[in-house]
A and B are shown apart, each in its own frame.
Chain A
Amino acid sequence: MRFYLSRITISGFFLIIVFCLAVKYAEGQTTVARIDSLKKELLKAGEDSNKVEILRQLGNEVGYIDPGQALEYAQEGYNLSNKINYEFGIGTMAYILGFLNQDLNNYSLSDSFLILAEEKFRELDLPGQLAKVEHARGVQAYKQGNYWAAADFFAKNVKIFEDIKDSSSATIAYQSLIAVLGQVKNHEKAIELSKKALLLAKQTNDTVSINYLLQLLVTNLVYAERMDEASDYITRLREIAETVTDQFLAGDLYSTIGTYFYRDKDFPQAVVFYEKALEKSILINDKYQQANHYSALGQAYLEMGRPDDCRDHLFASLQLAREYQNKRGEYNVSLSLSNYYKSIKDFHKAYEYLSWHQEMTNSIMKEETRNYTAYLEASFEASKKENEILRLEKVQQEKEYQLKRSTLLLFVGAGLIAALLAILYLLRRNHRNKEKIAAERSALLEEKVKNVEKEQQIVSLQSMINGQETERTRIAKELHDGLGSVFSTVKMHYSTLQQETPEIKGNPLYRKTLDLIDKASDELRTVAHNMMPEVLMKVGLVDALQDFCNNINSGKLLTIRLQTYGMDKRLNSSTEIMLYRIVQELIHNILKHAEATEALIQINRQENRLSLIIDDNGRGFDTREAAEKRTMGMSTVKSRVDYLNGRLTIDSRKDIGTTIMIDLLIHE
């Protein structure tokens, strides 16, 4: 059920973007007549920027009727702009080509055009246009399920639009940001932003945005379980749904109201509104939402104790979801079906659907984690690059300022010459900077390709490491069960012998043999323990690490403290083993190389975020130099971190110490 509503936000969300940007570009005229008059104008136009403008409008207008044909207009406009060297035209047409390709699901082509448009607008210094391009890139990320990246793009949009005081565009960017926040389940923040954006939309009297924002607000309120607050809006949503001409919005509104009642456990009311939502989605032939609404109805009927109605609706949903490759829909309905079969006590079927659901959970989660890691890395790289760009711009500004001042002090003639020189100098400088920035951008792209390659490596590595740990567990168990049992039984019999034949006690060989048996079983125990500590399997990571620290501490070479926060629940066993091995290897590295006297192991877990920090007061090292020296110890750590889809940061300073930080997302 959790994912169901977020799907609703998506459809509402796509609608907003496509719809609102269209209105902006076509200035509110979206009629066939308009297209016809544009076509006539096109015939009369010469090969100039005027024609580009006509082609731009055509690309926009036709895009909502026939994206394929629109693509042709846009391509023509793009070629013409290049021919007549019309910079603004190149940027705008690239932008239109970008989002048209997005509509046609050509993501890689769309990406290239959007990047091109981004560069052009940056060169021309048009923040408003730039933000629109960024917005389209956000939508792209969103469509591909990369919500974190999308959130990042949208947040930047909001800021740019606010800076240039374009409040109607800011309202749109807010809506996108809110939708994506809902998707990553940050409902509180989404509520906060919805309220802020509502104020903004009210100022400009933008009814369309107000209606969408209300839908987003209530959806998030329901999900944040702020039912009282949500109930204040329900009547209003209903009024809007009944009067609004936009059938997409009406459907989404009914669905939101239905979910409100479902969550409020008023199932008969929920059914009434889900039925209305379904009716709307059939009217506009939206198969995607139909699947979702059928599934919601099925769930509501199950709660009402009407299993037959439940089954019919769930299967209708399943069929639609499969037919239209609605993966999330399938994911939701499989769980509901399992619940249905449980309720009619067909446990075999219930189990089947549940395991299918589980399988899909894994694949969806894996995808999300990959996206998140890629985003972390990309944003980390981007922030480095951005700092560098900012620095370059600042240097340039300073130079500019100094030059301006010196020209003031010179005679008019000399001043003119100086100004001319300065302009020439700046132009050259500017050009060089741009080249530099472009080179950095292509490096970023290269990095993206590398990321993809790395992911493939990770998959094969994961199975290798998994196999290794399974093998270790098996060997440890066999040592205990086989050899271990033999040794202890020998000792049991042998020590009974002295009871039966007391004179044997006097024989020194007897004592010596007994000691040797002890030694053998101790050694066996140590080997098995190093293979796989029992406490790690049976009790958990924290106790295992405490044991590990105690063992090191009793050696007196290094004192380790262990601090854990939010670790009351156990993690899944392969994650625990991996984290344990990472700590083990890092501490052994410290013992071997760092000459440290103290170390600190800290684990923080908050919801699904986990960070592991290991910190020592050793001699530290230069991270660049050490890249080669310490690779031996670090490479296994690195591959284990990769296994967990985590991020490893090494932060070391000479003679101060080293901090190693590993962050990852936990899935249960």
Chain B
Amino acid sequence: MIKILIIDDHPLVIDGIQTMLKDEGCFHIEAAVKTGADALDFVTNHPPADIILLDINLPDTDGLRLCETIRAINKTVKIIALTHINEAGIITQMIKKGANGYLLKSMEREELIEAIHKVTEGSIYLSKAANEKVIQQLQHLDLPTGQVPVLTLREKEILQLLYEGLTSQEIAGRLFLSNYTVDTHRKNMLQKFNVHNTQSLLNAVRKLGVID
């Protein structure tokens, strides 16, 4: 028997889940709570559930934080996010905070049952739409750490002129920009290449071959 705890503040949704699971003999809904506080109370004071279905929008807290807290208390319980939100940033954060699955509320019955079984076996389960979002994000993920920063148009020009030995003021005159703007670009570049003065910036850039 798989024991389930539902954390969701919509009575309709709880009713829907009950309908989907009622004919499956191996599931038992232990409790349905509406707030983060009630959820924590249940987790600390009752025998542990096997599965938690967790909504991300809750009246007193958000699911990301609650997931982290529950995970800190109980390392073994399987947490499945059950939500309307389908945004890559939220999905990845949820998994990072210790969730084992991510389901959208617009799921079909089979999907919920499959998810519970998969997660119980120890896998991570993402619903089809959520999976697509995450893959899309991976495809476009720019600049993994350690890669060379990309220069903006103006940064390139300013670097070139710094190379030629011009001062910020002279560069501003040459490019018809205000001193202040040139200085901001220069400061940004120092931060991008993690250096503290113009000379080390030029050295860093030369070493990385960012400019020809």
Residues of A within 8 A of B (CB): 376, 379-380, 383-384, 387, 477, 480-481, 484-489, 491-493, 495-496, 498-500, 514, 517-518, 521-522, 525, 528-529, 533-535, 538-539, 543-544, 546-547, 549-550, 553-554, 561-563, 565-566, 600, 602, 604, 606, 609, 611, 613, 615, 617, 649, 651, 656-657, 659, 661, 663
Q: Which of B90, B105, B192 contacts A538 (CB 8 A)?
A: B90
- B17's nearest neighbour on chain A, judged by CB, is A492
Our pick among B13, B90, B136, B180 for the contact of A485 (Cβ within 8 Å) is: B13
- Write 27 A-B pairs (CB below 8 A) sorted by A numbering: A380-B180, A383-B180, A485-B12, A488-B104, A491-B16, A491-B107, A492-B16, A495-B110, A496-B23, A499-B109, A518-B106, A525-B86, A535-B90, A538-B62, A546-B89, A546-B137, A547-B89, A561-B143, A561-B150, A602-B188, A604-B187, A604-B191, A606-B187, A606-B191, A611-B187, A613-B152, A613-B188
Chain B residues with CB below 8 A from A566, complex form = 191
- Hey, which chain A residues are within 8 Å of B173, CB to CB? 387
Residue of A nearest to B21 (CB): A496
Majority-rule SS of B interface residues: helix
Take A488-B105, A651-B154, A657-B153 as given contacts and tell me if A539 and B93 are in contact as well, using a CB distance cutoff of 8 Å: yes
User: Given A533-B87, A538-B56, A547-B89, A611 and B184 touching (CB < 8 A)?
Assistant: yes
CA distance A194 to B114 in the complex (A): 72
* B13 A488 Cβ-Cβ under 8 A: yes
Contact call B181/A561, Cβ cutoff below 8 A: no
Contact A550 B23 (CB under 8 A): no
Chain B nearest Cβ from A609, distance in angstroms: 8
Among A525, A611, A663, point to the contact of B84 (Cβ < 8 A). Answer: A525
Are B140 and A649 touching (Cβ within 8 A)? no
Q: A487 near B106 (CB under 8 angstroms)?
A: yes
User: Counting CB contacts under 8 A, is B177 at the interface?
Assistant: yes
- Given contacts A543-B89, A550-B140, is CB(A480)–CB(B20) below 8 Å? no
| B109 partner residues in chain A, CB cutoff 8 A | 492, 495-496, 498-499
Residues facing A in B153-205 (CB within 8 A) are: 153-154, 173, 177-181, 184, 187-188, 191-192
> CB within 8 A of A600: which of B16, B64, B152?
B152
Compute how far the CA of A489 lies from the CA of B15 in the bound complex, rounded to whole angstroms.
8
| Chain B residue at smallest Cβ distance from A522 | B106
A477 to B10, CA, bound (A): 13
Given contacts A539-B89, A543-B89, contact A383 B178 (CB under 8 A): yes
Return chain A residues, CB-CB under 8 Å to B143: 561, 563
Query: Contact: A649 with B90, CB < 8 Å?
Result: no
Of the candidates B19, B88, B105, B192, the one whose C-beta lies within 8 Å of that of A484 is B105
Q: How far is the CA of A379 from the CA of B88 in the complex (A)?
A: 43
Residues of chain A within 8 A of B152, CB atoms compared: 600, 602, 613, 615, 659
- Name the B residues within 8 Å of A489 (CB-CB): 10, 12-13, 15-16
Contact with A along B1-43 (1 / 0, CB 8 A): 0000000001011011101100100000000000000000000
Contacts of B20 in A (CB 8 A): 492, 495-496
Whole-angstrom CA separation of A538 from B140 in the bound complex: 22
B57 within 8 A of A: yes
A517:B188 contact, CB within 8 angstroms: no
Docked Cα-Cα span, A592 to B193, in Å, equals 33
Known: A488-B105, A521-B105, A600-B150. 10 other contacts (CB 8 A): A380-B178, A380-B180, A492-B109, A496-B23, A499-B23, A518-B106, A546-B88, A547-B137, A606-B187, A651-B177
- The complex places the Cα of A431 from the Cα of B94 at a distance, in Å, of 73
Chain A contact residues: helix, strand, loop or mixed = helix
User: In whole angstroms, how far apart are the Cα atoms of A544 and B89 in the complex?
Assistant: 7
Of residues 46 to 81 in B, which have CB atoms within 8 Å of A's CB atoms? Answer: 56-57, 62, 64
| Nearest CB on B from A472, distance (A) | 16
Is the CB–CB distance between B153 and A543 below 8 Å? no
Q: Is B108 an interface residue (CB 8 A)?
A: yes
Distance between Cα atoms of A606 and B152 in the complex (Å): 18
In the bound complex, residues from chain B placing their C-beta under 8 Å from that of A649 are 178, 181
Q: Which residues of B contact A376 (CB under 8 A)?
A: 180
Q: Which listed residue (A383, A529, A539, A661) contacts B184, Cβ 8 A?
A: A661
**Alpha-carbon separation in the docked complex, A525 to B17 (Å):** 20
Q: In the complex, A500 Cα to B19 Cα: how many Å? A: 11
Instruction: Please measure, in the bound complex, the distance between the C-alpha atom of A387 and the C-alpha atom of B178, giving whole angstroms.
Output: 11
Category for how many chain B residues contact A: 35 or more
Is B212 among interface residues, defined by CB-CB distance under 8 A? no
Considering the chains assembled together, what is the distance between the CA atoms of A656 and B105 in angstroms? Answer: 47
Which of B179, B180, B192 neighbours the largest number of chain A CB atoms within 10 Å of its CB? B180
Are A547's CB and B153's CB within 8 A? no
Point out the residue from A485, A543, A651 that lies within 8 Å of B105, measured CB to CB.
A485
Residues of A within 8 A of B15 (CB): 489
Interface assignment of B85: CB less than 8 Å from any CB of chain A: yes
Separation of A62 and B160 alpha carbons in the complex (Å): 59
**Whole-angstrom distance between the Cβ of A559 and the nearest chain B Cβ:** 8
A491 to B106, Cβ gap below 8 A? yes
Nearest A residue to B105 via CB reads A488
CA distance in complex: A481, B10 (Å): 8
A residues near B88, Cβ cutoff 8 Å: 535, 546-547, 550
Knowing A518-B106, A602-B152 are in contact, say whether A492-B10 is a contact too (CB < 8 A): no
* Contact (Cβ within 8 A) B64 A538: yes
Cβ–Cβ < 8 Å partners of A518 in chain B: 106
Contacts of B178 in A (CB 8 A): 380, 383-384, 649
> Which chain A residues border B16 with CB–CB below 8 Å?
488-489, 491-493
What's the Cα separation between A384 and B181 when bound, in Å?
A: 13
Q: How far is the CB of A596 from chain B (nearest CB, A)?
A: 11
Expressed in whole angstroms, the Cα–Cα distance for A611 and B187 within the complex equals 10
Known: A380-B180, A489-B12, A489-B16. A563 touches B149 (CB 8 A): yes
CA distance in complex: A387, B110 (Å): 73
Q: B13, A565: Cβ atoms under 8 Å?
A: no
Which B-chain residue is minimally distant from A540 (CB atoms)?
A: B89
Q: How many angstroms from the CA of A404 to the CA of B162 in the assembled complex?
A: 38
Across the interface, A554 reaches (CB within 8 A) one of B12, B87, B136, B150, namely B136
Could you say which residues of chain A place their CB within 8 Å of the CB of B64? Answer: 538-539
Closest chain B residue, CB of each to CB of A605: B191
Residues of A within 8 A of B105 (CB): 484-485, 488, 491-492, 521
Of B17, B106, B137, B177, the contact of A550 (CB 8 Å cutoff): B137
